[in-house]
């Protein structure tokens, strides 16, 4: 289909999928190996790092750092950008990832996952720098996530639709299970941490109250679902429709989730599937990070609920 392609991007996705297979196996056996516990380290966001967060981070840093494709890596678990052996040579891409999202749930058999996004280096002659990660969401070359749950999935987009692969453990390979996922035009599920109610403003509260009542859009209450593991909540929203919200509030004026390796990749995927992802008044694919660990609000989902949210909470027409 793409006669000029070199195959490099496919090669990259294969290395990431190998990392995902290794982490999936690690998650499945973490209980036996005592990896659920804390490592004693606190990361740049103030989160206590678990052993398994560290192991997942090391797998991806070693694997992707030794491929010849990436000049720089960013991991949620490391304060600074990581330069690889390919920084001076080929390495025309950079990758940012959350190695094990939702790991606070790991001891309770709740799904966890890996999220990543890849950018092209801005100027190969100039050498790689943190600036290579400060590109708008629409400049993403490929993004994806995996969920380690009842099955291990690998969902990605390279700008031509969203495709879903499922790990077949009997052969150790990802098998294509859905091509061109389209988010439903509307859904009947809303997903938000309602424990944050006291920090929300009146408009956010009014929107949630509307979803739970006989609202004018659905004419019946929406169903509430909140796993508290972003990959799982996002994956359900993508497949079943509806809306996921982690807005800013008075306790978290900059939002809770991380822009570069959580919000932008998932926004890219939601938009590629026909939905929307915003931080309030802006579409996230139009947002450029200024800092690799910056936080953001993240609201994503079906066109109907997203337009309704943006209009009622932010006076913004999507
Ligand atoms: P993590 O990357 O440290 O695991 O944190 C991100 C997680 C997301 O998976 C999830 O959506 C969110 O934190 C839950 O936050 P809260 O507990 O405030 O609802
Ligand atoms: Mg995370």
Query: Domain residue spans in the chain?
Result: 8-178, 189-314
The closest of 71, 66, 122 to 96, measured between CA atoms, is 71
pLDDT confidence of residue 43 = 74
CA of 228 to the centre of ligand 1 (A): 6
The three-point CA angle 274-226-230 to 5° equals 60
Q: Does residue 229 line the site of ligand 1, with CB under 6 A?
A: yes
How far is C-alpha 264 from the geometric centre of its chain's CA atoms? 7
Which amino acid residue places its CA nearest to atom 17 of ligand 1?
A: 228
Q: How far apart are CA 16 and CA 271, in angstroms?
A: 22
CA of 298 to the centre of ligand 1 (A): 12
pLDDT confidence of residue 89 = 65
Q: How far apart are CA 108 and CA 228, in angstroms?
A: 12
CA of 256 to the centre of ligand 1 (A): 8
What six digits make up the tokens of 305? 């609920």
Q: How far apart are CA 265 and CA 143, in angstroms?
A: 5
pLDDT confidence of residue 17 = 95
- Tell the CATH topology of 189-314: D-Maltodextrin-Binding Protein; domain 2 (3.40.190)
The closest of 98, 44, 42, 91 to 71, measured between CA atoms, is 91
Instruction: Please identify every residue annotated as catalytic.
Output: 47, 53, 76-77, 98, 100-101, 262
Q: Does residue 31 line the site of ligand 1, with CB under 6 A?
A: no
> Could you list the mean pLDDT of each consecutive 10-residue stretch along the chain, which spans 318 residues?
78 93 93 75 76 93 89 93 78 93 90 97 80 95 97 96 97 96 97 98 97 87 97 98 98 97 98 98 96 97 97 96
Question: Is this prediction's pTM over 0.85?
Answer: yes
Question: C-alpha distances in angstroms, 109 versus 22, 29, 125, 225, 235?
Answer: 18, 11, 47, 17, 17
Instruction: Let me know if domain 8-178 sits in CATH 3.40.50.300.
Output: no
The closest of 193, 187, 252 to 223, measured between CA atoms, is 187
pLDDT confidence of residue 32 = 82
Residue at token pair 């919200």: 245
How many residues are listed for the chain in this entry? Answer: 318
Beta bridge pairs of residue 157 = 143, 162
């Amino acid at each position: 289909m793409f006669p000029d392609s070199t195959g490099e991007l496919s090669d990259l996705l294969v290395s990431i999928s190998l990392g995902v297979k290794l982490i999936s196996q690690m998650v499945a056996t973490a209980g036996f190996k005592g990896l659920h516990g804390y490592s004693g380290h606190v990361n740049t966001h103030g989160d206590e790092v678990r052993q398994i967060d560290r192991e997942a981070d090391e797998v991806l840093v070693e694997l992707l750092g030794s491929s010849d494709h990436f000049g720089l890596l960013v991991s949620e678990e490391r304060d600074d950008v990581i330069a690889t052996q390919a920084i001076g040579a080929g390495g025309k891409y950079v990758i940012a990832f959350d190695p094990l999202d939702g790991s606070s749930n790991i001891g309770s058999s709740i799904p966890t996952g890996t999220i990543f996004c890849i950018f092209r280096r801005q100027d190969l002659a100039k050498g790689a720098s943190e600036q290579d990660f400060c590109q708008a969401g629409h400049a993403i070359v490929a993004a994806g996530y995996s969920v380690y749950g009842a099955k291990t999935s690998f969902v990605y987009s390279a700008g031509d639709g969203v495709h879903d692969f499922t790990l077949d453990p009997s052969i150790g390979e990802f098998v294509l299970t859905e091509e061109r996922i389209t988010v439903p035009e509307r859904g009947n599920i809303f997903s938000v941490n309602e424990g944050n109610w006291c920090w929300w403003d009146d408009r956010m509260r009014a929107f949630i109250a509307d979803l739970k009542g006989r609202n004018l859009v659905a004419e019946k209450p929406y169903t509430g679902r909140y796993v508290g593991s972003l990959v799982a909540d996002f994956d359900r929203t993508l497949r079943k429709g509806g809306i996921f919200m982690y807005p800013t509030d008075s306790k978290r004026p900059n939002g809770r989730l991380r822009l570069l390796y959580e919000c932008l990749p998932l926004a890219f995927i939601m938009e590629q599937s026909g939905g929307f992802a915003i931080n309030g008044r802006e579409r996230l694919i139009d947002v450029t990070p200024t800092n690799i660990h910056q936080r953001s609000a993240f609201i994503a989902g079906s066109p109907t609920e997203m337009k309704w949210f943006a209009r009622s909470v932010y006076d913004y027409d999507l």
